[in-house]
A and B are shown apart, each in its own frame.
Chain A
Amino acid sequence: MKQMFNREPFALAAFSLVILLMPIWLTPFGANYPDLLQKFAIFAIFAMGFNILFGLTGYLSFGHAAFLGVGSYAAVWSFKLFTMNVLPAIFFGVAFAGLFALVIGYVSLRRSGIYFSILTLAFAQMSYSLAYSVLTPITNGETGLQLTLQDPRILDRLTTEAGDGLPSTTLFGLSMSGYSGFYFCAVVLIICFFITRRIFNSPFGLTLRGIKSNQNRMGYTGFNTRPYTLTAFVISGMFAGLAGSLMAVTDPLAGAERMQWTASGEVVLMTILGGVGTLVGPMIGAWVIKYFENIFSSFNKATLENFYSFLPESLQEIAVSVSGLFVGEGWHLTLGVLFMLIVIFLPGGIMEGWRLLLRRFGGGSGNKSEPAAVAQPAE
């Protein structure tokens, strides 16, 4: 069974099945609406890409949201200037984010450890401030960049006349809203999963792991580590740009708040929560956080009262007021507590917990001989 999972086509098929059937198996959780499903796919890509840098290479970037923002802006500009087709938008999003990552990575990677974190944070905050104020002609400042009726859309104009109202994003005529948008993101996610898996299992991935465990020693063996770390940085930046452009695909607007450092913090949380350095961990982390954000934050007092209706009245009141702290407006509190608990008790994240469970309950049934193949949690 384990052998089968490790085989490329099988892993890919299983993964695709899970992703594409999300609308079905998420129904019991109340999460099968396209808006949330799109977020699941997009943030999974973002976290997966971030993990290539943080999980594999060990560089904790606190500025990855900048690439997300650049991707979004590039995609919206592609919609405005050229065509509503999503493929060029994604191309521009990835390309600009990659270039941007090349510049920032080239400078930031001169330092490691906390200095690297602060450098990336500084660059991201600079980009945020610039997008918010100075670059208003490009980013439309605090209002955010949106489609307008006056946009040139050169390529679209060649074939069709401008209609009334704003056009929607399309893939060769197929509108990218609702479930079709989700399936498009899902296909992109599957491609990204394939790429990430390849990177993890390649000699390049092995080099990155080596850099993470001891960069000096890698240097002594004759490796120039700089090109490898820079490549990892650019790749993860491109993943972030892809996620950003997909955000613009599903909802064609871009705002500076996407680049704020709290947004960078969020992707770090996702990766840690799921399991740093594991293949699917960051994706699961992204899903958990987005699920919390969307489902928990929509709970209100009435929902809670309904939930605790089996309790006697006085107990019910206490239960409602205590758990009321953690849902609705206060769902961030849940996030913070969950996050602390994970870092304190389960540094390997959800994937580590899953392995522990497997070892405890599946230990007797013969498949316990799998310690070496699993990815190491971050140190």
Chain B
Amino acid sequence: MDAILLQFLNGLDKGGAYALIALGLTLVFGTLGVVNFAHGALFMLGAFCAVTFNKLLSLEKVVAHPTEKTAWGTPVEIRTPYVEAWLGDFGAFLVNYSVPFSIIVAIPVMLVIGIVMERGLIKHFYKRPHADQILVTFGLAIVLQEIIKHYFGANPIPQAAPAVVAGSADIGAWLGLGDGLVYPWWRLVYFGFAAAVIAAVFAFLQFTTYGMVVRAGMRDSETVGLLGINIQKRFTVVFGIAAVVAGLAGVMYTPILPPDYHMGMDFLVLSFVVVVVGGMGSLPGAVLAGFLLGILQSFASMNAVMSIFPGINQIIIYLVAVVILLTMPRGLLGREGVMEE
């Protein structure tokens, strides 16, 4: 029972990451009709926003220790981050919370990156075949990846979660299942965060006039355009939002998986599978499939399952994708007429 619950929880945050990336992918597909292979790179850029922010905050200077002295009577020198030296306790707090605070930096940065990308490159590819879109964004993903590799090196750069949530939560005790069921706090935070972001995106599309117009545009952009609305501009903003969602997913994932330059590609393939399983262009489908596949994957990694089907954890996602694609051509919640030549 414990083991099953644990795997379920494990699946939730993996599924959260899949769902967030797939949400942006499918949003871009549904609005702009573009198959964006550089979306994984946006996830990676988000993660490196967190790395950069952390690096900036931890720039150090050498100061004298206030009390300790060496044997010769000179003060012991210690290295302190500038922010801490300037702002005291608040500075230390900032450094400690660098990952969640990176969100504040990442939102505008990713929004700008997304909009520049759409205006600079993607917009020229609306009318081109999907193969061309795949190829040019794949090229862009390689370029972004190499730039990051050049500046940050090829090694993963671990990021620490804030000290408050560094440990594990004793979930077993809460639920009265006895101890033994502990779970890292940050993963719970990540799940909560993913749920909040997904809710925010849905709320934006569902309850604001802006979102309503975007949804109308997803159905029939020509008619919306004829009504005198600049739907293209709104779609550009939607691309920016998709980039922000992917970036935030990357920022918050850094304590779970130390970011490196190819994390985007690793997640990209999986999230494409998620999008297709959920149905191209369907937002609830992407979220559903993201969590479903994440949870399935973590169940497949259980020892009990692995002893019956060795290696199943590696292929379960693809296996499910193949079965679903062959039995339900549109994916789980796909709409009719999307991507059907």
**Chain A residues in contact with chain B, CB under 8 A?**
60, 107, 110-115, 117-119, 121-123, 125-126, 129-130, 132-134, 215-216, 261-262, 265, 268-269, 272, 325, 329-330, 332-333, 335-337, 339-340, 343-344, 347, 378-379
Contacts and interface: CB of A to CB of B under 8 A. Distances in A.
A114 B339 contact: yes
Interface string B311-331: 100110011011001100100
Interface of B: 35, 121, 124, 128-132, 134-136, 138-143, 145-147, 149-150, 265, 269, 272-273, 276, 280, 310-311, 314-315, 318-319, 321-322, 325-326, 329, 339-341
Given A60-B134, A122-B321, A332 B142 contact: yes
- Pick the 4 closest A-B CB pairs, nearest first: A336-B142, A134-B311, A129-B314, A339-B139
Contacts of A272: 135
A115 B35 CA distance: 12
Contacts of B326: 107, 110-111
A114 B35 contact: yes
23 contacts: A113-B339, A113-B340, A114-B339, A115-B325, A119-B321, A121-B273, A122-B321, A122-B325, A126-B315, A129-B314, A133-B314, A265-B138, A272-B135, A329-B149, A330-B146, A330-B150, A332-B145, A339-B136, A339-B138, A340-B139, A343-B135, A344-B136, A347-B128
A145 to B, nearest CB: 17
B143 A333 contact: yes
Given A126-B315, A126-B318, A332-B142, A115 B135 contact: no
Contacts of A134: 310-311, 314
A339 B146 contact: no
Given A60-B131, A378-B131, A130 B136 contact: no
B146 A336 contact: yes
B339 A132 contact: no
A336 B318 contact: no
Given A129-B318, A340-B140, 20 more contacts: A60-B131, A113-B339, A114-B280, A114-B339, A118-B273, A118-B276, A118-B321, A119-B325, A126-B322, A129-B314, A215-B341, A265-B138, A325-B150, A330-B150, A336-B139, A336-B143, A339-B139, A340-B143, A343-B139, A344-B124
Contacts of B321: 118-119, 122
A326 to B, nearest CB: 9
A286 to B, nearest CB: 16
B144 to A, nearest CB: 8
B142 A339 contact: yes
A113 to B, nearest CB: 5
A107 B322 contact: yes
